[in-house]
Structure formats: structure tokens, C-alpha cells
Amino acid sequence: MKMGRVSKRGFSNAAVPVGKKSTQSGGKKWYKAGIYVRLSADIDERKSESIDVQEEIARKHIEKLNKGGQEMIDIIECYRDLGKTGSNFDRKGFKRLMQDIRLGDIDCVVVKDLSRFGRNYLETGNYIEKIFPFLGVRFIAVSDGIDTGDKGNDAKQMASEIKNLVNDMYAKDSSKKAKTGLKQRREAGSYVGGPPPYGYKAVWEGKVRRLVPDESTVGIVKHIYQSFINEESYAAVTDDLNRCRINPPAVYKETGEVSCPPDVEYKGWDKSAVKRVIGSKTYAGMLAQGKTSITARDESSRVHKTEEEWVVRENAHEALVSTELYQQAQEIRKKMKEASALRKHPTEGNPIGENIFDHVLYCGVCGRKMTRYSHAKTYADGHKGRLEGYFCLNSGQTKTAGCPKPNHISKQGLTDILMPLLRTEFAVYLDRPKRFMEAGKEQINGAITRSEKKREDLRRREVRLEEENTEAYMAYREGKMPQKEYVSFKMEQEARLQELEKQEKELEEKQKSMKKVRERYLKAARSMLKLKDAGELTLEMVDSLIGKIHVYPGKRVEVELRYANEMLEEGSG
């Protein structure tokens, strides 16, 4: 049975002021409790460990304690973490609980048992035996009989430590078992991935999760394969899908609509999505799983395995395309890759040059970064040369209506536009670059020096705060300062220290920024020296003198320049 959530501002038994620790009133001690429940990431979690059961056990235990008459525990909120491992404390619900404890909204934490709180022995023990006592928080683990409000004894503490150690060992052992179980399910042909691939639905057949055809999109998958074989072009298939306004996989998953209605903005297919469909073995009835793995302690740490380590099972489910059709598509893919590789690799004596416009060149219509193309050409007289240029991937495609016309420009054409423009714009500096360089260095170095003095002042204030913290701690240990007053003082000091550290961090970042400005400023000066006599542009010249270039259809160009005086303003601001 799912229990209702109690508002932080409306308590079930009495009105205890939010933001204050437990109080003594009429012979009773009042607590503001937060119930913490967690459901493991393990999909085989026992029903007895469900979120609702955990919460109900905690609530009934609190009701029992309240009947004793010596104390009153008000349930403020239940903090939940669904599908989260107990091996670490990087959980949203737990973080929210700790935030409310620091704010004074919670001073009692109740869990069903220690394993629900955490399975890491060291971290769990640190919270129960150090952090919670320091913050004046009572901790109750119902099934384990642990209640730090009962003063306890050494035997209870030892039992807590043993229980935590067992939980820690369990977490490591269950991680190994989970990996073994996962491998066994993969080898049995069970689909263990997330959302099923486009064209399929996932259903359970006993303990095996199978992929079955999605009748709504099977025909589209077959059409993609047949069109690719006929056209031998990803772009042609993509354009065909977009002309028909077929929703891409992500939109179909979200809306359940195969095609996009006329009155809805269309988010079309791109070539990468078509490539994934054409290259996936899934559509030929095969499952290739276990390509990556994660560690038990850190779900974000993903390791990519070699193809030899994958778990591949043929005839794992119904194929959407025949083996012959799939193989035919793969042969075309192989041929296209080989042809592309020949175009990308430099020919002898004609290596691909440095992409000097990589960070500054954008489409003026849709704003997308321009893509470079480069290929070698043999002329009629036998000599070889390399043709380079840039184009917008969105332009002239059917996926978006925002860039309807082809938009491209050659590298030589762009250079021919930029060289005279730069010489004209920076003419005032070309005859006195050294003077320009020294003045800029002096101004920026002065700003860095002033910033360093501010940082030294902040460090002195931080040292003083640490000294005050030490004095307060000694007073607390000697009984001269009540725990409540000390905790309040500590939190205020921590807030001040964080603010000082924030200011110091901002100054540090500003100094780094000014040093970068100084480097760019010097590069600009060197580039001006080179620009006077240079016959071609270099990467340093482009980076130091040009902020952004917008290219429009018809080879029209707009250029944003990095002016020297703006650099100085950035450095001293």
C-alpha cells in the first residue's frame, strides 16, 4: 500500500517549526523525521524490498515509538531513490535528504535497514558514526535494531559495523553475480538492452526478453534497406524518408506516431540514423550484446569491449530483412567505405593541409559549423593538386527547411576574400606592431597584478575563518559552547568560507582568462607582422585576428574581427 506524502509545512502530529533541531516540550522530545527508501538497480529485486513496503515499515515503527509517550517523531517527507545502487551515495534522493538536514528541516533519518541506506561499509559508517552525530541527527535502522537516539552500547555499535561490512561485501558479490547473470541472459538470446531498436518491440517470454516485429514500422525498415540497395546512397534514403515526413526513431519512441502530422513541426531523419539501421545485425535476426560494461561503484564509468568479447547470437528473433538483402546492403556499405577512404587519404606529394578555418567558419543561413571537404585531382598535363573547400551539411537537404539552398565555398576563394580585407582593417597597426605589443602587455600585466593582490586578501580572510573555527571547536569540546550553537556557528562559517572560495575561484579564472588574452594579443601582434608580407593565411593569423566567419549561398561572406582594443578591454575588465 502506497502511503501519502506529508508536506514539510504541514505536520501530521504537531506544528514543529521548520529549520530548528529537535526540541524538549512537556517532557517529550520532538523530532522531524525523513524516511529514506531505495530500490536497487538490480531488476531481480525482491518484492519485500519494494519502495512502498520499506516506507510502510518505517512509518509503523515511528507510530510504535510515538505510542511510548517519551518522544514524538513527525514524518516530514519520504526521500526516494529508484533503480540506484547502494555502492555509492551519488543519488538524487539522498542528496536532497542531506540538503534538508543541513537546512535544519530534518533531524531524524529512518530506514528499513542498513542495506537500504548504503552498501559501502566505510561511507555508511562515516555517516552513522561521524556526520549524523555532528549534525545532531538521530539515525534509525528498523530491521537492524539500530537507534542512535537510544544512546546504545558498544555491542550495538559492533553489530552496526559488522552489518555494514556484510553489506559492503554483498555489494561486491552481487555485482559479480549480476554480471554473470547478465552474460547468461545474453547467451540465452534474451534482449537485455534498453528501448528496443526501431522496427521492434520487446516482450517477455517467461524469463527471456525477446524482440518481436513492430508492425507499425517493419515496412519502413524494409523500405530503407531496399532503397539503399537501389540508390547506393545514405543521403538519397534520408531525403526519401524526410519527403514522406516519416518520424525518426527518437520521435516515434516518444509519440508513437509513425509519420508527422501536417500541423506539427517535423524533426526529420539524418544520415547517421539511416547508417545505424543499415549497419545493424539486429535486422537480420542477430543479437550483438555486451559491447560495453560499467563498474559497480561508478555507473558512469563505461568500458568499451573488443568485438571478440561481444555476445553474438544468431536467429535470436525474427529478422525483418532476408539474409541475402542484408548481405547485399553490407557489400554496398563496404564499397562506399573503400571509395570514401580513397578520397580522404592524401595522394603522394599532395597531403591534406591544416584546417585553418575549423573554429571560425559557420553557415550564415542556419548557423551550423561548416564542414571541410578535400580531394586530390590529376590535371590534363599530369600534375596533381588538392582541392579544398567548405560546405554546410544542412544546406539543400530535406531534413530541415531552415537552410534550403546549397551553401559552399572553396578554400582559395575564401582566402582571396579575406587577405585584402584583413590588410585593410588592420592597416593602422601594420606600421607599428612593436609599439602596439608593448602597450598591450603593460596593460594586461597590470590587471593581473591587481587581481593577485585581491586573491592574497581573500586568502588572509580564509585563514582567519579557519582560526575562528578552531577556537569554536575547542570551546565546544570543553563544554563552553552548546552543540546547537556550535553547529549553527559552523554552518555560518562554512557559508562564509564557501563565498570566499567562490570569489577566489572567480579571480583565478579571471587571471587565466587574462593570460589567455595576453597570449592572443601577442599572437595578434605577430600575425600583423606576418600579414604585411604574407602570401597566404596561417592558423595563428586566423585564430588571432578573426572571431567568426559566416558564409552565405553565392559565396557571400561576413567576417567578425578580433580588434586589438577589444582584447585589452577583455583583459582589464
**Is residue 169 domain-shared with residue 256, that is, in the same domain?**
no
For residue 374, give the 3-state DSSP assignment: strand
- For residue 375 the three cell numbers come to 580531394
Q: Establish if 441 belongs to a structural domain.
A: no
Q: What is the pLDDT of residue 195?
A: 80
Rounded distance, CA 55 to CA 50, Å? 9
In a domain, 507, yes or no: no
Q: Looking at 335, 368, 387, which one is the last position of a domain?
A: 335
**Residue 121: its pLDDT value, please?**
63
CB 386 within 8 A of CB 376: yes
* 563 within some domain: no
Domain boundary among the residues 144, 176, 208 is at 176
Domain CATH number, residue 245: 3.90.1750.20
What's the CATH code of the domain at 151?
A: 3.40.50.1390
Say which range, 55-64, 113-122, 410-419, has the weakest mean pLDDT.
113-122
93 and 46 within one domain: yes
> Do 67 and 142 lie in a common domain?
yes
Least confident among 10-14, 311-315, 527-531: 10-14
- Residue 5 is predicted with a pLDDT of 40
Q: What is the pLDDT of residues 299-349, one digit of tens each?
A: 455 666 666 656 667 777 888 989 899 999 999 999 888 877 655 554 555
Residue 106 has pLDDT above 90, yes or no: yes
- The three-point CA angle 116-118-120 to 5° equals 150
Residue 372, C-alpha cell as written in the block: 571541410
Asked if residue 412 is part of any domain, the answer here is no
Q: Specify if 207 maps to a domain.
A: yes
Answer whether residue 210 is part of any domain. Answer: yes
Residues 125 and 205 in one domain: no
165 and 205 fall within a common domain: no
Q: Is residue 257 part of a domain?
A: yes
- 57 and 172: one domain? yes
Same domain, 330 and 220: yes
Which candidate, 359, 350, 353, places its Cα nearest to that of 373? 353
Domain C-terminal end among 300, 335, 370? 335
Position 224 scores a pLDDT of 93
Task: Classify residue 499: in a domain, yes or no.
Answer: no
User: Strand pairing of 287-289 and 311-313?
Assistant: antiparallel
Total domain count for the chain? 2
User: Rounded CA gap, 387 and 489, in Å?
Assistant: 70
* Residues of the domain holding 320: 200-335
Residues 262 and 159 in one domain: no
Percent of the chain whose pLDDT exceeds 70: 68
